[in-house]
Structure 1
């Protein structure tokens, strides 16, 4: 059996084993992945965004009654011991406990925290899963970390862990993974996309650290936004154009910046070469992004891609009319909706076009 067929067989089994959690239009979920919590030292990738993460959970998601999915690589167990992580980030575990007490917390394993399943003393009481399904009107949202779509990654996980712990850590090398390799990202995303299209389901992954919404890359999302705003210009009343034109200008500037970096075509073109754009693939991104945190929210029957950022790090979004970020209290932290779509529309499109 070739690698692709074996991966699809593994995903079938993962889907069948996944527990189901019913949701409806009143449900509220936030999906995070790839925290990579460490020991609080300079080698800890979670440290730079830790305050942003803690305050967003404590002051936004918990008061608003959100349930939570932690979709893999929450602990960085390939570099640090669980004992050190639990001691350093006790406040984070307390927040998770509060979410679990008041609502629902679903925690899945990734390739960097796989050994959690063998830990005799875990710093939490909630159950650990390989994957999960949120069932919206009998439509599954299949949630798993994403490393399961790579046979090589599963087989070489121990070697990667050894390299990180005994070579990268002493040399203070940052966590290098599939997130830094666009071709590996693309290969994993393409397999999950093809699997989801064939089975007419929506899938949510992490692992690659690259936010995806409705199977679209950032460049593709910007193109769609510009096209949508151009349509809105038609038939506007006098005086309404400047606001939309300003947004188009901001999106154009951002799109040009992406192309100017001369990124691989895999990051700026049609990622999956489908005849139709089928919105089956979502990626929550990562909590350890250089410009903040990305996550997915499900609320009021819609799904949204969210960017949390620190004003000091990402001031440009405060200057661009198209985004309209929301300030978190009197902090320097902001929440911004990058994309939003109705779940009924997404599943209708999946069923009709797949």
Structure 2
């Protein structure tokens, strides 16, 4: 019940963004950018992710980062994360300057719900090479959720991270964050699984997905989430539930594309070309299918 209430609160307080059949969106979640240390699960995919973002920037997509873009549970000092991935943050800031970027917070970067924290860490960054402060995301507002509303039929797409209502990852997140930073961070390096993570616990993952489906049935609104790290293109029971997957898989990253009135689940990964050279390639896993088939 608490999950239903928290999802509804997030929906009611969401940023509303108008779109039409000419709009283009790429939705990534659970990037988990860290400090490029041994425990940083994103580091091996950084080149794939950067290549994908360049593609979407050049092709006029709007980037929605649906939570857990930054790994603030395991890494306390934000400047070390930005220092590790300065080129990537600079690339994301290009979307922001073109008014084509929306950032949501998830359980692993819940600190971004606080405006002072965002101002202190994301408005600008210190360039150690030039010994100056450079503009990054001035005036950035980080949201809990976004609702895309079609300009003609007024049908909606609710985009949220998906941790809402979870006892460990929402209600007592400061405690869980403390344990991750000072305990599981080190266990993680040697291969232990974190029990609070739905991506490592299929029972927990299925429970969360059932709650998503229940909320969709009650409200008749299409939902796109992350959090579980499990890519999804429509729920098994037929509700309009989609999941971006994550950017920390061993063999690539996944995301949801919306463009020209369609939706698709895509994967970016490294594969050999016909002459054996390794290249970053985009594959469509599911879709593209008409959005109208899923919007209530």
TM-score by length of 1: 0.72
State how far apart, in whole Å, the 1-side matches of 2:148 and 2:166 are: 23
Structure 2 match to 1:267? none
> For the Cα contact (< 8 Å) 2:2–2:165, is it kept in 1?
no
1:290 match? 250
Whether contact under 8 Å (1:117, 1:128) holds in the other structure is yes
Alpha-carbon distance between aligned partners in 2 of 1:121 and 1:71, rounded to the nearest angstrom:
21
1:103-142 paired onto structure 2 within 5 Å: 103-118=99-114, 119=117, 120-123=119-122, 124-125=137-138, 126-136=140-150, 137-142=153-158
Deviation at 1:345, TM superposition (A): 1.9
Q: Is the 8 A contact 2:113 2:143 kept in 1?
A: no
Give the aligned CA root-mean-square deviation in angstroms.
1.9
Q: Is the 8 A contact 1:67 1:100 kept in 2?
A: no
- Structure-2-length-normalised TM-score: 0.85
Shift of 1:152: 4.0
Equivalent residue, structure 2, for 1:33: 29
Shift of 1:122: 2.5
Which residue is equivalent to 1:43? 39
Provide the C-alpha distance between the structure 2 equivalents of 1:10 and 1:117, rounded to a whole number of angstroms: 15
Q: Deviations over 1:323-348 (max 9, x none)?
A: xxxxxxx861110011111011222x
Tell me which residue corresponds to 2:125: none
Partner of 1:344: 292
Q: Secondary structure at the match of 1:305?
A: strand
Deviation sequence 1:49-104 (CA, Å, 0-9, x none): 0010011111x111101101000001111111212111111111111111122242
The residue correspondences of 1:198-347 to structure 2 (distance < 5 A) are 198-216=218-236, 274=237, 277-278=238-239, 280-311=240-271, 332-340=279-287, 341-347=289-295
**CA distance in structure 1 between the aligned counterparts of 2:106 and 2:4, rounded to whole angstroms:** 18
Q: Are 1:149 and 1:192, in contact at CA under 8 Å, matched by a contact in 2?
A: no
Structure 1 segments of 4 or more deviating over 4 A? none
Structure whose alpha-carbon radius of gyration is higher: 1
**Higher share of residues assigned strand:** 2
* Contact 1:7 1:151 (C-alpha < 8 Å) held by counterparts: no
- 1:79 and 2:74 are equivalent in the alignment: yes
1:159 aligns with 2:119: no
Q: Which has the higher helix share?
A: 1
Aligned residues: 268
Task: Give the SS at the match of 1:115.
Answer: helix
The CA deviation at 1:9 is: 1.7
1:129 and 1:18 mapped to 2: Cα distance? 7
Q: Is 1:116–1:122's contact at 8 Å kept on the other side of the alignment?
A: no
User: Alpha-carbon deviation of 1:297?
Assistant: 0.3
Distance 2:65 2:190 in 1: 26
3-state SS of 2:39 partner: coil
Task: Structure 1 unaligned segments of length 5 or more: list them.
Answer: 217-273, 319-329
Q: Is the 8 A contact 2:6 2:164 kept in 1?
A: yes
For structure 2, which runs of at least 5 residues remain unmatched after alignment?
Answer: 123-136
State the shift of 1:158 in Å.
2.1
SS of aligned partner of 1:68: strand
1:269-303: CA deviation from partner (whole Å, max 9, x where unpaired):
xxxxx4xx23x100000011122100000001001
Matches of 1:85 and 1:67, distance apart in 2: 23
